[in-house]
Amino acid sequence: MSANACANNGRDEPAMKAASTSPFTAAVPSCRPHDLLWLDSPAALFSGNPLPAWVGKQWHAGLPVVVRRDKRSKGPIPVGIRGKRRSERAAAWVSPDSVRHVVTPESLATDRQKLAASPFARTKPVRAIFELARLELPWTWGVTGSCAYALATGQPVMHEESDLDILIRCPDRQERNAFARLAKVLDTLPCRTDIQIETPAGAFALKEWLRIKPGTGENGGGNSSLGQVLLKTDSGPVLCADPWQIPPLKERDTP
């Protein structure tokens, strides 16, 4: 197969075969941070530095890698490899041609029947997903982190007390009050829930952004200063006042 699953909406025949490794499927025009990728072989992984020994012992092509943020244009995709322990994380790159199957954060939250049939259905994070679904949020959103990995693979990396990581796609600028209804229910969910807002410029933590008092430049105890929020970009973290627009290099503050 000459074209990769990310660019070809996952319609390649090898990608359909690989789908048996996961109960969820997705078709996307390109790979984005937090997407889970299944590769054609472990040899697809490469890195500027030797990968840790645990990668060869624990990771295999039946498990996904996760797209991470890094400087890139067209070509290799930056990915992260997950081990059994929290401390076991490794950065690598893969060729787009080696991608056989893609699972997006959105696909893990939209199929309620598969969620209900999951072996993790009774855990607090999955119960929180169902509660968020009942809000009928106006944005596209999905699941990331350990919950996403567990749902997509069946691997027991999530437990009853795990946090839930949520990604909300917001391509258009939003006012803070647009998230008021969501903010009110966060503390009532069955587990701690961290929400990242994805913009064309990067991603930022919703709770941190909501702590900033509009028009005052004050922040209620977050990492930002002068009304700025920490934006995760492909070039690294940046403090900015408008998370929908990356500031010019000469105007950037780094944490």
Contact 125, 88 (CB under 8 A): no
Closest CA to 134 of 202, 204, 181: 181
Q: Is 253 a catalytic residue?
A: no
Question: Catalytic: which of 163, 194, 234, 253?
Answer: 163
Task: Write out the H or E segment, with its range, that includes residue 182.
Answer: helix 180-186
Rounded to whole angstroms, the Cα distance separating 62 from 46 reads 17
Question: Catalytic: which of 12, 35, 40, 165?
Answer: 165
Rounded to whole angstroms, the Cα distance separating 225 from 213 reads 11
Contact 126, 115 (CB under 8 A): yes
Strands 164-169 and 193-199: parallel
User: Phi and psi (nearest 5°) for 19?
Assistant: -60, -15
Q: Is 111 a catalytic residue?
A: no
Catalytic positions, please? 163, 165
